């Protein structure tokens, strides 16, 4: 029924989110907000020599946004800033275009079902909007999906 959206791995990451904690020694932080549903997210990054050494988040959101943040933080570790930005673009394409599902997205391909649910695309992209803000430097205001 809704298995195309709520794939097992998404349910797993929403019930047991990975890297879901604040980070004391983070050197990049950003906040994301989806005013449509009230979802809030804080992202913490430790970036050294242009490489994301560690990533974590805290926040409250739906299964899709929580799983997205969880899987994103997993996939970021070890990526350079440029690689992370490229991944962000690829992920965005996965959700919004009819293009061929990218092999280099790894586990993130489980979100391909979201494109059939236009009202839920912003749930999946909240963490990634926040990532962009964190990588682009300090934003004084929370980034929003609107």
Partner 1 sequence: MLTESTARSQVSAILDVEKIREDFPVLKQSIHGKPLVYLDSAATAQKPYAVVEAIRKFHEVDCANIHRGVHELSQRSTAAYEETRGKARRFLNARNKSELIFVRGTTEGINLVASAWGRKNVKAGDEIIISALEHHSNIVPWQILCEEKEAKLRVIPMNERGELILEEYEKLLNPRTRMVAFAHVSNALGTVNPAREIIELAHKAGALALVDGAQAAPHMKVDVQALDADFYAFSGHKVIGPTGIGVLYGKSKLLNAMPPYQGGGDMIRTVTFEKTTYADLPYKFEAGTPNIAGGIGLGAALDYVTAVGMDKIAAYEHELLLYGTEALQRIPGLKLIGTAREKAAVLSFVMEGIHPHDIGTVLDRQGIAVRTGHHCAQPVMDWFHVPATTRASLAFYNTAAEIDALAAGLLKVKELFS
Q: Which residues bind partner 1 (CB under 8 A)?
A: 1-2, 5-6, 11, 14-15, 36-40, 60-64, 117, 119-120, 123
Of 40 and 81, which CB lies nearer to partner 1 in the complex structure?
40
Spatial CB neighbours of 99, under 8 Å, sequence gap ≥ 6: 93
Of 119 and 138, which CB lies nearer to partner 1 in the complex structure?
119
Spatial CB neighbours of 100, under 8 Å, sequence gap ≥ 6: none
Q: In angstroms, what is the minimal distance from the CB of 131 to partner 1?
A: 21
Q: In angstroms, what is the minimal distance from the CB of 46 to partner 1?
A: 28
Of 60 and 80, which CB lies nearer to partner 1 in the complex structure?
60
Q: How far is CA 58 from CA 7, 41, 74, 94, 123, in A?
A: 22, 6, 14, 24, 15
| C-alpha–C-alpha distance, residues 28 and 36, integer Å | 26
Q: In angstroms, what is the minimal distance from the CB of 9 to partner 1?
A: 14
Q: Cβ–Cβ contacts within 10 Å for residue 19, how many?
A: 20
Q: How far is CA 15 from CA 3, 4, 66, in A?
A: 16, 18, 9
Q: In angstroms, what is the minimal distance from the CB of 112 to partner 1?
A: 16
Of 40 and 92, which CB lies nearer to partner 1 in the complex structure?
40
Q: In angstroms, what is the minimal distance from the CB of 1 to partner 1?
A: 5
Of 26 and 62, which CB lies nearer to partner 1 in the complex structure?
62
What would the two tokens of residue 44 be?
């913490």
């Amino acid at each position: 029924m809704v298995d195309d959206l709520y794939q097992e791995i998404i349910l797993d990451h929403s019930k047991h989110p990975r890297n879901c904690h604040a980070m004391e020694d983070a050197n990049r932080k950003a906040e994301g907000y989806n005013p449509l549903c009230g979802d809030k997210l804080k992202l913490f990054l430790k970036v050294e020599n242009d490489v994301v050494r560690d990533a974590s988040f805290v926040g409250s959101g739906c299964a899709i946004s929580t799983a997205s943040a969880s899987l994103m933080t997993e996939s970021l570790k070890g990526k350079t800033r440029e690689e992370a930005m490229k991944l962000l673009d690829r992920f965005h394409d996965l959700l919004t275009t009819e293009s061929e599902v990218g092999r280099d997205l790894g586990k993130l391909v489980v979100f391909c079902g979201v494109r059939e649910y236009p009202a839920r695309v912003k749930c999946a992209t909240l963490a990634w909007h926040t990532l962009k803000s964190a990588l682009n430097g300090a934003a004084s205001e929370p980034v929003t999906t609107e």
